[in-house]
Amino acid sequence: MSTGQAILLISCIDRPGIIARVASHLFALDCNIITSDQHRDNEDGHFFWRIHFESLKKPVAELSHDLASSLPDLMRWEQLKFEVYDTARRERIVIMVSRLEHCMIDLLSRHHSGELEADVIGVISNHPDLEPLARPFDVPFEVIPVLKDKKGEAESQLLERLVALNPDTVVLARYMQVLSGELLSRWRKPIVNIHHSFLPAFAGSRPYQQARERGVKLIGATAHYVTEELDAGPIIAQATTPITHRDTVADLTRKGKDLEVTVLAKAVRAHLKKQVLTHHNRTIVFE
């Protein structure tokens, strides 16, 4: 009889016996491994492990407590880090948007149909335009305008609201403002962004214009974690689609929307399932 499921993420310097020891420990704690994914970075010897297991006797909360106290002794390996997530606990998400609706509607629609294992607890925008489209999904919509000469004030207000809402993850679903290093240094939880190019090509503003000017034959979209350096954070997901000389910037914008929606949803989903680990500004994605 399962009393709950959890995900255990482990990273450390690889040494023989890790799998044997942890798997035996979980077995002794009456846990059954459902899926297990691992990766070894051969360049620096780091080992990454994601274990999805069910607890057969103890409640997951109690088990997490046991693991937190027992693992450090069990795995005296260098640079050990680990986290336990109760899969019954739903993550809390805040979506941020500007004027373009496609990514917001897509995420709300997936949320509505039960596809996202999380609760969208709010939408924050610097414009009021999209409020009517969010309404049928029963998610609070807040407007925090960003005036050209008062960006600092807007960011203070944004930070205050994030602190109050307390999401686990913020998703920038075509939010057209750059978040300052100041804000990022104070809000340390994950922020997922969608950029409308196949990074590192066409970082910064107007990527479809840049793509048209360079004459590329495909356009792309990139979902990544936000870091201080613009469009340079760890990449979670990317995709491209073919274009031709006939496509104007408007056509690229239209074709790109489908990519943005798909890539962002894929990245958010993987992030919520704790399938994404970061290392050296890159990601390991256990799909």
* Positions in the binding site for a second copy (CB under 8 A): 16-17, 19-21, 23-24, 26-27, 30-40, 42, 56, 100-102, 105, 109, 112-113, 115, 132-133, 135-136, 198-202, 214-218, 220, 234-240, 244-246, 248, 254, 258, 261-262, 265, 280-285, 287
Quick one: 116 or 162, whose CB is closer to a second copy? 116
d(C-alpha 5, C-alpha 131), whole Å: 37
Quick one: 126 or 275, whose CB is closer to a second copy? 275
**How near is the Cβ of 115 to a second copy at its closest, in Å?**
6
Residue with token string 């798909």? 262
Q: Can you give the length of the chain in residues? A: 287
Quick one: 64 or 197, whose CB is closer to a second copy? 197
Quick one: 26 or 170, whose CB is closer to a second copy? 26
Instruction: State the DSSP H helix or E strand holding residue 171, giving kind and residue range, or none if neither.
Output: strand 169-172
**How near is the Cβ of 24 to a second copy at its closest, in Å?**
4
Closest CA to 95 of 59, 53, 133: 133
Quick one: 17 or 140, whose CB is closer to a second copy? 17
**How near is the Cβ of 161 to a second copy at its closest, in Å?**
24
Tell me: cis bond preceding 200? Omega within 30 of 0 counts: yes
The residues carrying an active-site annotation are: 231
Instruction: Give the distance between the most distant pair of CA atoms in the chain.
Output: 64
**How near is the Cβ of 104 to a second copy at its closest, in Å?**
10
Q: Where are the alpha helices (DSSP H) in 115-171?
A: 131-134, 151-165
- Is the Cα torsion angle 25, 283, 237, 260 positive or negative in sign? positive
d(C-alpha 57, C-alpha 63), whole Å: 9
**How near is the Cβ of 131 to a second copy at its closest, in Å?**
10
d(C-alpha 123, C-alpha 261), whole Å: 17
At 238, list the tokens. 């990317």
d(C-alpha 203, C-alpha 183), whole Å: 21
